[in-house]
Structure formats: structure tokens, C-alpha cells
Structure 1
Amino acid sequence: MNAQQPSLSWEDGAIVTIDQRVLPHATRQLRLRTVDEVIEAVSTLAVRGAPAIGLAGALGVALSALRHRLPGGGVDRAAVREDARRLVAARPTAVNLEWAVRRVLTRLDEGHRAVLDEGLAMLREDAEVNGAMVRRAADLLVGLLPDRPLRLLTHCNTGRLATTAIGTALGVILELAARGRVAEVLVDETRPLLQGARLTAWELREAGVPHRLCVDSAAAAALATGMVDCVLVGADRIAANGDVANKIGTYGIAVAAARHAVPFLVIAPESTRDPDLATGAGIKIEERGAAEVTECAGAPVAPAGTAVFNPAFDVTPAELITAIVSESRVVRPREEPAAVPDAPRLGDAVAAMARTLYERGWMPGTSGNISVRPDPAEPTALITASGRDKGELTGRDMVAVDAGTAQPVDPDGPRASAETAIHAAVYRTTDARAVIHVHAPYTTAVAGRRSRETAGAGRTGLPLRDFELLKGLGLADPSGTEIPVFPNHADVGRIATEVAAHLRDRPDAPPALLIAEHGVTVWGRDLAQARNRLECLEAICQLVLLDAGNRPARAAAVSPETVPETTPWEGQTA
């Protein structure tokens, strides 16, 4: 397998992957064509690593949907959901497996092809997420330890074998090596399956990174004697409070690292977080068979009948962790969660703006939502609570949420607006400090019409050219832009995923988006700038509709085949 080849892919109706059980002595490819084969591969660790088993589970659901097709294009949903349940049960500790299976199941009603498309989209996202994550973590480490090549310690395997490309903690090591910042890597053998010795050492040798194998029981001694500048590990599940489940042995290393003041970093995608789990005490720890300990390569190493304690994972308390790094943020669990600075004043400002927009008819009833994130370096934002009349909103009708995950800071408090996930997607991918979502009439009407013109095309765009008001959006080139128009999925989380992917791919995208039949979202450095941009875009869309009758060839709602994606809506510069 070369460095560019993904470790897991979809080819001709099968999941194609590397059999990690036989590495490093042989490189064998597996083609998994049934759900049972996927379950066996995950259970026996032919496929392993939290992100990788999640993606295998997602594609396993796609295999089930293909098998259970019905005449007319439907799917036997009950059969597919039962297969999904069995896939999730294959390994209970890693949350990525359940997360990925649930995500593809949201497309089940659309048919087998939609399920597969969602799984393939997740494969593509994995490489993007990993790339963003390892760069963020490498930058953090260079800032923490700027003066020398680093001596690193890692546990288990967290490279591209554990994902589909790049990796998590091992991906960071390779990124640092590419920057010339790695002196040596100590690789824990990682009992009982020797995933460090067999897999991490293999990946480091392939990459030409200096490394030595370290027995697990020597890791604390290496930390005590100053042989390690930083510990880098992955994660299989992260509780809401920052407790982390990872391969057995991680906790002991964290204790030793804390004792000797060595930074201990966890590198894991946002999909590894379990916001419904308050602490690590609730994480179900998988226990594996005795033979993994009593035998080595099939040869007995313990007396026959010896009882075995063989947990696959342990839980590292948040207070032992220097930082948890994902594709979108750095969380330092040892520090107290930051409150929203001057929350009462900000809440009053948000409420006042909501009432103003309500009076303009842009936030009718309880619809629409506004959020502010006063400090981009902190994880918390304020957003309007769900179900509150915007004409009577007060500063007390706000919810503090994690700006990266959209989860409320207080799970027992008021519920945030449904579109919080979209706000979080904007905060993760831009430098926005305020987001406004409203149902302004002209932008809503134009978004709906554009969506109908390109029916079935998924996300489309509204090209705009030569409107003087485009200057109000703060564009690098105010002569023209394209405002994305997203489908109005019933699952708001799916809209948020598409928004985040769009903004990651287009760093120069305009600070606005439309959702078909569901209004407009804009953002800016503060509430005032976001409101100004909203007013400019609403005025442009009013001109588009007023001028449509003068150019029927461009304004008429016709089939997507006759309306090119690049057809601009032209305005007057005067």
C-alpha cells in the first residue's frame, strides 16, 4: 500500500480494505461483500481504528441496502435497520461506529443509492477532516515546543490504517516529520495485539521517520528520564466533560506524563465526541478473548486455564489531558470552560435585534435565530432559545452552546434553536463572531425559485453580477459572486454538514447562504455587520424579483438543462 492509497474504499459493490491482522508480514486485501463479512472484519480487527470502523459500518449499511432492494426502487427498511443494529454491536466502545451508521440511515427513505452516496461522501470527508486536524495539532505543538526537533511517544496505531487516509495522532507525527520537527518516535508495542509494534512501526518505516519500539511497561520510565517531549494518542470515544476512552494502557501513560509535566495530546475528529455522555464513567469498555493474552501467534505463553482480564480500552480523565485537537478546535480540558464574556449585555443585544427583525417581518412568530461568539479563541457562543416569540424576546431567552459542536453547555437548560448546527458549521469554518438566520421574504423567494429551477441538483448557486449592493457583503471582488443555495433537508444536521464542507472548500466564499424555501443565513465580525449584510442581500433579491419581468428569458423558471449554473442575475450599477 503506497502513501497515497486509501486503506478503505468502495469498488464494484464491495468494501475494499487492508487486512490488518496479517501486517507487517504480509499485505493482504479484503473484499467485503456482505454485512456478515463486515461484522467479522470489524470484530476480528481486520478493520480497526475508530474512524475506519465507522466508515466500514456506514458502507456496511450500504451493502445491506443494496441487498434489500425492493421492486420499484424502495428498500426493506426493517431488514436494513436490523443489519445496522448488528453492525453497531460489533464493537461497542468506539462512538464513530454508531455515529456513522446513524448518519447513513438518515438517507434510507431515499433508497439504496442515497445510502451509498452518503457513505462515499463520508469517505471523502475523512481525508479532509484528518488533514485539517493534523495541521491544527502540528501548529499547536510547534507553538508549545518551538525550539528543537521533538521526541514523541505514541500508543497503539492511529495512522492511515486506523482511518482511510493521513491518520490522527500518527498523522500529526508524519506532518511534523515533513516539517523537519521530529527527532525520534517511541512506539509503544501496545498489548495485547501489538498494534504499535505491528502497525505503527510499519507505517513509520514506510514514511522513513526515525523510531524505536518501546515495551508498554517502559513508557513511564521514558517519561521520567526525559526521553519524551510530548505524548500523542488517538481516541475511540470522548465524553462531554473531556474524559477519553482509548486503547488499554493510555491511562497509565497519561498519569506518568502528568507526573513529569510532559504535554499529553489527544487527536480525534469531532465524530469521536459523544455529547450525550456526561463523563467517561458511562463508556462501555469492550473486553476481548483470553487467547489474545494467553497466546502469542498461536503459541501458549501462560498455563492452560489461566483466567484473564483483557479490556480493549481504558478511560483517561480529562484533567490529565493537555489538549484535545479535532478538525475544528483545540479544547484544553484542564482549564475551566470559559463563560460567555458579558453574557447579559450580549443577550440583550441579540434580543433587541431579534425584535427589530421581527417587526420587519423577517422573523415571524418563533422562526429564525441569532447567535454571537464574542471570542473566537473560546468555545462558547450564545444563541436564541427554541420556540420563543421573537417579538417578545429578552436577554434571558438565550442558550450557551459549544460553538464547534452546537451542544448546549447546560444540557438541562433551555433548548437551542434547531438551526444551531448550521451556526456551528459557520463558526467552525470561518472567523465569524455573529450569525443571523431569518425568513426574509425576497431571499426566501429567490432561494425557492432557484432550487426549483435546478431541481434534483443538490446544492446549487445563485450567481449575482453588477449589483452595487454587493459591496455590502465585503467581497474581495464586489463585481460578482455566487450565493450557495442548499436543499432544505428535514435533518438540519445534514444541512450543517453540507454547509461546513462548502465553506471548508471555499475559504473566499461570500458570508451568506440560502436554504431552499427556508430563508437566509449571514454572518460577520459582529451583529451590526451581519445585519448590514443581510439587508444588502435582501435588497439584491428584491431587485432580482422586480426585474425578472424585464428579462423573461433569464427570470422564467425552466428546466435545469436550459438554465446554466453560471447564468448570472444582473443588476444595475447606477
Structure 2
Amino acid sequence: MGALRHEHHGFSLYWEDNAVMAVDQRALPQRFELLRLESVDALIDAVRVLAVRGAPAIGLAGAFGVALSVRTHRTAGAVDEDSVRADAARIADARPTAVNLAWGVRRAVAQLPNGPQAVVDEAMKMVAEDAAVNSAAAARAADLVESLHPHRPLRLLTHCNTGRLATAAVGTALGGIIELRRRGRVAEVLVDETRPLLQGSRLTAWELGEAEVPYRICVDSAAAAAMSRGMVDCVLVGADRIAANGDAANKIGTYGLAVAAARHGIPFVVVAPESTWDPDLPDGSGIPIEEREAAEVTGDADAAVAPAGAGVFNPAFDVTPGELITAIVTEDRVVRPRDAHREQRAELIRSRIVGLLEAFPDYPRPGVVYQDLSRIYAEPGVLDDAADHVRDHFSGRFDRIVAVESRGFVMGAVLAARCEVPLTLVRKPGKLPGAVHSVGYALEYGEDRLEVRQGAIAPGERVLCVDDVLATGGTLLAAAELVEASAAEVAGSVVLVELSGLPGAERLKAYDLLSLCEVAA
């Protein structure tokens, strides 16, 4: 292990004496070695074999590669620009998935008309920019994670390597984790080993150790189990390319983490610089996925671990759909792809419910419009989609469902089954045995009471109250009072249909209310 020279301390690559100096990431953690890359071919090889890796870092390497080409193709004070542009194309193609590589090459090539020194200066400027960009993104990511979990030390999980080794300095997702540690907010970091090249257990673990952040290495296939056991509060990862809709490519295995995080209601945060966005790509289906050599999987060092001739599927990256991403944090902004997808899905659910509702005027008495939900219950898939939307909206924020008699039982049962949480039924008077909590309330057309058995809701539980229609709000308000009488917390309220023009929403303004559709009373 060693250190970078004083003037370059903390930087994973830099320009020195007409060459690129870079930390050889293949040697870590056993040895800290610097590579001296003096030619375009040497730089391309270093990128391909992952001696230099990480989307931001290879973007900077691309810019430095153009500077090396300018040095090579400069004679008698003139630069052979055609040869430099040919080298630039080879550099940009060295690894196809990370958009930063082509971005860095383009920035350096754009300086060719201004002379050789301008190309070098641009690459060096990009290194300084990268450090500043990563510091800003790391601080913004730490702020976001603190806002999601404000009250206790955090258990974090990360994948691959997104620290200073993957950038010029500071890091993206790992930079955010180290910033959270600086703020005293980290209990432990689970580090996915990251198959097949172990960037997590080799590089991220090394960086966390250097920063004195407590960590444990996690077998990739154990990450979902760790989530199921309550060992993870937030997942933070980087990205190599982000499509316009928020779909994000990252190291293989990231997609599975996002699926598991969504299943367990755990925030999934991507931290990446603005240069990682590809605004010309509508969605992730167009991201090219690099496939690597079979030997990375079939062998371990010089030893074979698979039968000779075994077929191998070894993609370097996968694409996580934006709908699974809680937030993408850059140096300038926080983008919430899941919210955009959620809004689209909410509108589809709203239109389906409205199309299936039947209104019956003057029922059960004159002046009342009865909204019948029978066709909604009969239509396959509607309640499933509605339950998925409710689960996402209240992600990880409730421990129990309370459903109100009688039509609230239907949605409450579907939602409880979907979220695998207990269901408690709130009944009308005289229908529950034993001691009960009881609350009276006013209806749109009369008065009634609701009751729940004492002990049916555990003290301290976070409870979601579910009913079918919101009119004056009396029923759901009574359900909330029963929850609070049980020494539990109301996490929110859900209704399939809200009647606009009535005071229900106003009466429930103290709680998070989700109405799946709204119709005129």
C-alpha cells in the first residue's frame, strides 16, 4: 500500500511529464501501484482490462488519451488532426456502456483547434471539475439520505466501487456514504463483493477502510436476505449511463438489488454526475451492454473453477428501470424517476376506476348519490394495480392495515396480502367479542359508531387506514381515532374514491391521504 505524490494526493489519475498516471485498480488491495501510460494503446488497454475503471474516471482517461494522441501526432509544431480524431474514435469505443468515456473524448477533441496545450489544459480542468462535482453530489446525496432516515444511525448497502478510484477524487455513491460517516450517521456499510471481478470486496472495502468507515463484505446473493432481515436502510449505487426517463445502467447485479429494495420498501438511490446522463436516449433499452470474457467467470486467478468449455453469460452491466429508483442525485439536482412512473400509473388507475364506477342518485335516501364499486371489484387486476400503487406511495411506512366495515374490507384484504402485513377489521357496534375501543361519528346521512378489539393493534405500530369511499370523512377519522386509542400511529389513509365538494379531505388533513380517484359528489 502506498500514497499518491503530495501534489496529487487523493486523485486516482492525473497528467505528469506528458503521461497519464493512474492507480492500477487490478493490484488493490494487496498492492498500491501507479501506472504510467505514455501511449493511446496503453491507455485503451488499461481501460479495457479495468486497470482504470469507473464511469467518471474513464471519462477523464478518455480526455487524457486525446492529449496523448496529440503528443504522438505532433511534428514541427503542427498536429495531424485526422490521426488524433481516429485515435479519439478508438478510445471512445474501448468500453461501450459508460457514456462518460465518449463525453470526455468529445470535450478534449473540441479543443484541437486551440492547439496541443489547450487539449491538455481541458483534460486537467476536467479532473478539477470532477472533484468539485463529486463533492457537491456526495453532499446532496447525504442530505437526501438523512431526510429519508432522520432519526438514527444508518445501515447502508452499496454495490461495485463508486469512490475516488472510480472518479478523479471523492467519489459518487461512496463519496456520499463517507460524507454520512463524517456527519456521524453511519452504523455500518454492507459492501457487495460484486461478481465476477470483486470491485466491492477489493476496492470499496479498501476505500472504506482508509476512511475508517465500519463495513462488512456481503456475498452478492445475500443482499436481498440482508434486506429481508432489516439490515439495510438505504441502497446507494453509481451509474455508467442514465437514459432520459431515468433508466440507469450500472454494474451487473444492480437491477436485482433494486427489485429487492422495492420489495422491502427500502430507498434505492443512484449518485452520478450530470455527464452520466444521455439525454438523447429515451429509455434504457438502447443502452449498449458490454459482455466480457468467459475466463472472468470460469477461472479464479490461474485456477479453473468451471468445466472446460462451459458456456458463460458475463454482461458487465445491467439496466435498472427508473420506476425502481427512488432518486438520482447529481451535483445539480435530485431527480425522482419513481415518482414520474408513479404519477403515470396513478393516472391509469384513476381512469380505470372512473370508467367502472356506477352512480345511483337518491340512494339510500333523497339527496345522496351512491357510488357503487361493484364493477371495480369484479374487474380482474384493478385492485392488484391499486394495491401496488398504494404500497409504493407509502413505501416502508406502515406495519398494519386497518380496514373499515364493510366495503373497506375488500381493498384492505388485497393490500394486506400484497404487502404481507397484518390486517385488522374495524367493525360496527355489537360485532366484536371482548373489550373494545369505540368511537362515534357522523355520516353523510346519519350517525354510527366504529369499534376495534383492545389489543388488536399493537402500541407503536404504524397503521394505514383503508376504506372504499371518502365523503364527509367521519368514518376514516373514527378509524384514525381508534388507532390512536390503541397507542399506535396513523401512517395514512387510503380510499378508492373521493367525493369532491364534501369536507372529507379537509377533515383528514392531519394525515397523509391517498385517494385513487376523485369524482363529483
Q: Among 151, 157, 169, which residue is 1:165 paired with?
A: 169
Name the residue aligned to 1:263.
267
Name the residue aligned to 1:103.
107
- Which ranges of structure 2 fall in alignment gaps of 5 or more residues? 344-521
Q: How far off is 1:337 after superposition?
A: 8.6
Q: Among 28, 33, 48, which residue is 1:28 paired with?
A: 33
The DSSP-based 3-state class of the residue aligned with 2:213 is coil
Query: Which runs of 4 or more aligned residues in structure 1 lie more than 6 Å from their structure 2 counterparts after TM superposition?
Result: none
CA distance in 1, matches of 2:69, 2:116: 9
The DSSP-based 3-state class of the residue aligned with 1:31 is strand
Is 247-256 or 217-226 further displaced after alignment? 217-226
Q: Among 69, 88, 91, which residue is 1:87 paired with?
A: 91
> Is contact 1:96-1:236 (8 Å) kept?
yes
CA distance in 2, matches of 1:337, 1:294: 39
CA distance in 1, matches of 2:284, 2:134: 24
Q: Name the aligned partner's letter for residue 36 of structure 1.
A: D
> Are 1:5 and 2:14 an aligned pair?
no
CA distance in 2, matches of 1:264, 1:131: 20
- Which ranges of structure 1 fall in alignment gaps of 5 or more residues? 340-574
Report which of the two has the higher share of strand: 2
| CA pair 328-337 structure 1, distance change in 2 beyond 3 A | farther
Q: How does 1:364-383 map to 2 (within 5 A)?
A: none
CA distance in 2, matches of 1:261, 1:235: 21
The DSSP-based 3-state class of the residue aligned with 2:269 is strand
Name the residue aligned to 1:557.
none
Name the residue aligned to 1:49.
54
Q: How far off is 1:224 after superposition?
A: 1.2
**Percent of aligned positions that are identical:** 69
Q: Deviations over 1:256-280 (max 9, x none)?
A: 0000000000000000000010000
> Are 1:329 and 2:333 an aligned pair?
yes
> Are 1:74 and 2:78 an aligned pair?
yes
CA distance in 2, matches of 1:74, 1:108: 11
Q: How does 1:255-404 map to 2 (within 5 A)?
A: 255-336=259-340
Name the residue aligned to 1:513.
none
The DSSP-based 3-state class of the residue aligned with 1:209 is coil
The DSSP-based 3-state class of the residue aligned with 2:340 is coil
CA distance in 2, matches of 1:14, 1:233: 31
Name the residue aligned to 2:188.
184
> Are 1:62 and 2:67 an aligned pair?
yes
Q: Name the aligned partner's letter for residue 328 of structure 1.
A: D
Is 215-224 or 1-10 further displaced after alignment? 1-10
Q: How does 1:406-425 map to 2 (within 5 A)?
A: none
| TM-score (normalizing by structure 1) | 0.58
The DSSP-based 3-state class of the residue aligned with 2:216 is strand
| TM-score (normalizing by structure 2) | 0.64
The DSSP-based 3-state class of the residue aligned with 1:161 is helix
> Is contact 1:65-1:111 (8 Å) kept?
no
> Is contact 2:74-2:80 (8 Å) kept?
yes
Q: Among 15, 23, 46, which residue is 1:18 paired with?
A: 23
CA distance in 2, matches of 1:74, 1:270: 34
CA distance in 1, matches of 2:299, 2:172: 30
Which of 1 and 2 has greater Rg?
Answer: 2
| CA pair 314-134 structure 1, distance change in 2 beyond 3 A | same
> Is contact 2:3-2:32 (8 Å) kept?
no
What is the alpha-carbon root mean square deviation over aligned residues?
A: 1.4
> Is contact 1:243-1:316 (8 Å) kept?
yes
Name the residue aligned to 1:38.
43
Name the residue aligned to 2:142.
138
CA distance in 1, matches of 2:109, 2:335: 30
Q: Name the aligned partner's letter for residue 28 of structure 2.
A: L
Give the paired residue count. Answer: 338
> Are 1:248 and 2:252 an aligned pair?
yes
Q: Name the aligned partner's letter for residue 250 of structure 1.
A: T
Q: Among 211, 218, 229, which residue is 1:214 paired with?
A: 218
> Are 1:153 and 2:157 an aligned pair?
yes
Q: How far off is 1:28 after superposition?
A: 1.1
